[in-house]
Amino acid sequence: MSRASRSVWGLFALLVLALATMTAEWWLSTARAAQLVPPSEPIPLSFFGLHIHHLTQPTPWPRVSFGSWRLWDAYVVWPNVEPQKGQWDFSHLDRYISLAENHGVEILLPLGLTPAWASSRPKERSGYEPGNAAEPRDISDWREYVREVAARYKGRIHAYEIWNEPNLSDFFSGRPETMLELAREAYVVLKQVDQTVLVVTPSATGPTGITWLERYLKMGGGAYADVVGFHFYVTPEEPEAMLVVGERLRALLEENHLANKPLWNTETGWLIENRLSKVSPQNSSFSKVLTLEEASAYVARSYLLSWAMGVQRFYFYSWDSEVGGLTEADGKTLKPPATAFAETEKWLVGAQMVSCLPDRSGTWISELSRPGHRAWVVWNPARSLEFKIPEAWTVSEERELSGRRLSLSPAAIVSIGPAPVLFESGNPPSPEPPPRERQAGS
């Protein structure tokens, strides 16, 4: 065989391999997506959660609607509210609760980090102050802290989370068995004070988080929670990688007979570029800084896919982070991803997600339904391409994440890409009060 012939056959073989790989990836993606069964109820406003770090100095209350707020990195954990034994300072937390109530926003309060005075290893390094990642030396101090908070905010805080990322030594340096004891004690105290509160498991993160959660649940940790929490971080990967995380979590819940418990994503985000300051890669996981266009697409896709996976709350990290915020570092200047967050919420809240699946081109299509009204959200995470709108859709308008609206002719051919777009009739239903979230286990 001549060198030229070998080259041709070599190229042909590479092409066949590439096509086979693409086909395998498509089938894998389709198989995974085929398992997506979105909740049957309308999407509640509480599904759209945020982290806000610097309220109210310098960050004003967000100029977008959202339904829930997780108070992590908001300076209201145990070392902040009880800096010395028996000396309580609830000034920040009181203000946050009042602001949330005034805006109709639900609070998720993480309980955790140990003040140095109560720490079993007060000089040990942590991601915060020395000793904060260690378990308390005396479990009675932990019980007293939990009881003081629960009693003070009875009827005002309806959801508590036990600790943060316990699989990472920066946040918790103890053993899973120790965390189980802390969770059990907190659960008992919280339910004694207010039987109606929701208790969320310790929310692990990353690949080691799955392993940690598996061990924790096998020890019986699911008995001391109404909700299973996890951090669906996939950075630097795209939001579609969250499907793998969701698949593994669902399998874990099934194995441990916890499939009836709600699943919450209590923290996820990416590095996002700023216009007024520089954002640099931080480590191997946070090695990619999203452009504002990419970030807008990621925000929308992460919420769409999360609901499709059955995640009932998603707290984006964060509103005013200096390196991953929907605002600039000043907490005041909105970036395009903030607009994308608000627009996605308008598309989803109050609607039922009928389906969310990719076609053979890798284009995702999510059908939304309201009484007398249907709409479709479409995107392709890998590339831009021409998309012919099916005649059966009878849509007349396209809505973009920027809020821009475009008129469409029947069966139009449009350009789509990584940024989701909504196709609907030109007369969407009038806004209604957002639905309330169903109670855990109902």
Residue 17 banded pLDDT, cuts 50, 70, 90: very low
pLDDT at 16 over 50: no
Question: What is the pLDDT at residue 429?
Answer: 57
User: Contact at 8 Å (CB) between 100 and 61?
Assistant: no
Q: Which of 23-27, 284-288, 424-428 has the highest mean pLDDT?
A: 284-288
pLDDT at 20 over 90: no
pLDDT digits 0-9 by tens, 426-438? 665 555 554 444 4
pLDDT at 216 over 90: yes
Q: Which of 98-102, 238-242, 336-340, 424-428 has the lowest mean pLDDT?
A: 424-428
Phi, psi dihedrals of residue 413, rounded to the nearest 5°: -105, 125
**Nearest-angstrom CA–CA distance, 243 and 237:** 11
**Nearest-angstrom CA–CA distance, 425 and 408:** 9
Taking residues 121-126, report their average pLDDT.
Answer: 98
Q: How far is CA 53 from CA 58, 92, 126, 266, 384, in A?
A: 10, 12, 19, 15, 36
Taking residues 353-380, report their average pLDDT.
Answer: 96
Taking residues 316-343, report their average pLDDT.
Answer: 97
pLDDT > 90 in the chain, percent: 85
Q: Where are the domains of the chain?
A: 37-350, 355-424
Question: What is the pLDDT at residue 284?
Answer: 84
Taking residues 160-179, report their average pLDDT.
Answer: 98
DSSP single-letter state for residue 327: B
Question: What is the pLDDT at residue 11?
Answer: 38
**Nearest-angstrom CA–CA distance, 204 and 378:** 31
Taking residues 212-233, report their average pLDDT.
Answer: 98
pLDDT at 35 over 90: no
H helix runs in 153-262, sequence order: 176-193, 206-218, 242-255
More confident residue, 33 or 419: 419
H helix runs in 129-199, sequence order: 139-152, 176-193
Quickly tell me which residue has 């855990």 as its tokens: 440
Both tokens of 281, joined, read 């890669």
Question: What is the pLDDT at residue 425?
Answer: 85
Say which CATH class 37-350 falls into. Answer: alpha beta
Residue 410 banded pLDDT, cuts 50, 70, 90: confident
Upper half-sphere CA count for residue 393 (Cβ side, 13 Å): 26
pLDDT digits 0-9 by tens, 58-112? 999 999 999 999 999 999 999 999 999 999 999 999 999 999 999 999 999 999 9
For the stretch 15-54, what's the b/e string if a residue is b when 16 or more beta carbons lie within 10 angstroms of its beta carbon?
eeeeeeeeeeeeeebeebbeebebbeebbbbbbbbbbbbb
Question: What is the pLDDT at residue 37?
Answer: 86
Taking residues 24-48, report their average pLDDT.
Answer: 72
Question: What is the pLDDT at residue 283?
Answer: 87
pLDDT at 384 over 90: yes
Residue 389 banded pLDDT, cuts 50, 70, 90: very high
pLDDT at 151 over 90: yes
**What mean pLDDT value characterizes the chain?**
90
Q: What is the pTM of this model?
A: 0.90
Angle at 215 between CA 252 and CA 304, to 5 degrees: 35
Phi, psi dihedrals of residue 343, rounded to the nearest 5°: -70, -40
CATH 2.60.40.1180 at 355-424, yes or no: yes
